[in-house]
Structure 1
């Protein structure tokens, strides 16, 4: 049952658009009971939830405006009080801006850890929970490096280290909470089109030339991998989604 999406209740951070919204659709297609979208963009989040409800039925989608760096307590308390339990947390929200070091760490690292730990605390089997799954959306830069975006790459390395340790088989056997990571390669999203480099113009130019050589995939390729990982992956593992190819463990 753990790896069957049917009837699961799912929370997705940064779910109003891009990979997050595509993942919400994919889970509902596969029979999830409820998908809860969290996003700082209230207008887009409400519109996305309405789109999902019109397509999959009333009661299948909800939206909460949420800044994942500051709204952990009120939002999680509201969700658990209303729904009783959550089966899946997808930590998808992230930023890529080399001018914003502290904000990058707050969003890409600290919030991922805090939301994972809160979900763990509410679902761990040794404390009466039902168990569950955390899916952390990292990046190909969680295990690869190049000369660009050192702050972003550092944040995603942290996500992979956290996932592998927090989801270690030792912990999974004790607590029953599965933790896995998905690492998208070059994917067409709002994030990828607004990357800001904290460097001189020549480096920015070289970075843009490098992007032209990438083989880009659509968000649906990533959500397909996320669904596959949910249905197949062992805790503590990380999986690559690249070039619209099937999931590959890394």
Structure 2
């Protein structure tokens, strides 16, 4: 049952826009009970929840304004006291090569903090009921090229965290599954993030000549598919509009 979207209560960070919104939409389409959208944009969050509720029914989506780097204790306490949550999707992220600390804080440290809060709550060896932590990483978590250094480093960390925390040894004790999706280049606002000046010309050339873009809906459908098949500690690629693939363990 842990791999069946039907009737799941799901929390998703960065859920108001882009890939996060599309993932929320597709999980509801596949039978999820409730999607709790966390986002730091009130306007986008209210609109996203309204759109999903009009499509799927009253209270299927709930928006909570949240800065994931500051509001963990307050927001998680409210959620875990109010809902019987089954899944945490860590989707929020930025690409800002002008700010190392902000990049690591949002893409890595906050993701780990939120994961551990839910992990400890769900541990069956501590009286919990188990659950799934689903991290949105990136193909840049394992690709080798000169671009997006801070972003790439943060996503390498996400994969290391996912594979270590989700290792079968930990899963067999705690009952908490930890998995990751690694999207390829996807048409979202993230691609407009700040990059190093020395990279702009070559990166733009690569984008125009060598990269296959995909829509956020493609990643959303892949995420639900991965949710249904992934063992704990595994990471999956959803890139180039191709079928999902298990990433090598290296």
Asked if these proteins are the same fold (TM beyond 0.5), I'd say yes
Please tell me whether the aligned partners of residues 145 and 153 of structure 1 are also in contact (alpha carbons under 8 angstroms). Answer: no
Is 2:203 the counterpart of 1:207? Answer: yes
Note the alpha carbon deviations across 1:100-158, whole angstroms, 9 max, x for none. Answer: 10000000000110010001011111111110101100000111121111111111000
Is 2:121 the counterpart of 1:130? Answer: no
- Structure 2 counterpart SS, 1:135: strand
- Offset of residue 34 of structure 1: 0.3
Q: For the residues of structure 1 that align with 2:146 and 2:4, how far apart are their CA atoms?
A: 40
Q: For the residues of structure 2 that align with 1:153 and 1:143, how far apart are their CA atoms?
A: 8
Q: Normalising by the residue count of structure 2, what TM-score does the alignment of the two structures yield?
A: 0.97
Please tell me whether the aligned partners of residues 89 and 134 of structure 1 are also in contact (alpha carbons under 8 angstroms). Answer: yes
- Offset of residue 198 of structure 1: 2.5
RMSD (Å) for aligned C-alpha atoms:
0.8
Please tell me whether the aligned partners of residues 34 and 60 of structure 1 are also in contact (alpha carbons under 8 angstroms). Answer: yes
Q: Normalising by the residue count of structure 1, what TM-score does the alignment of the two structures yield?
A: 0.97
Is 2:141 the counterpart of 1:142? Answer: yes
Aligned pairs, how many?
Answer: 246
- Structure 1 counterpart SS, 2:4: coil
Q: 1:14 maps to what in 2? A: 14
Please tell me whether the aligned partners of residues 116 and 134 of structure 1 are also in contact (alpha carbons under 8 angstroms). Answer: yes
Q: 1:42 maps to what in 2? A: 42
The farther-off stretch of 1-10 and 205-214 is: 205-214
Q: 1:80 maps to what in 2? A: 80
* Matches for 1:48-87 after TM superposition, within 5 Å: 48-83=48-83, 85-87=84-86
Q: For the residues of structure 2 that align with 1:15 and 1:197, how far apart are their CA atoms?
A: 24
Q: For the residues of structure 2 that align with 1:91 and 1:244, how far apart are their CA atoms?
A: 22
Deviant stretches of 4+, over 6 Å: none
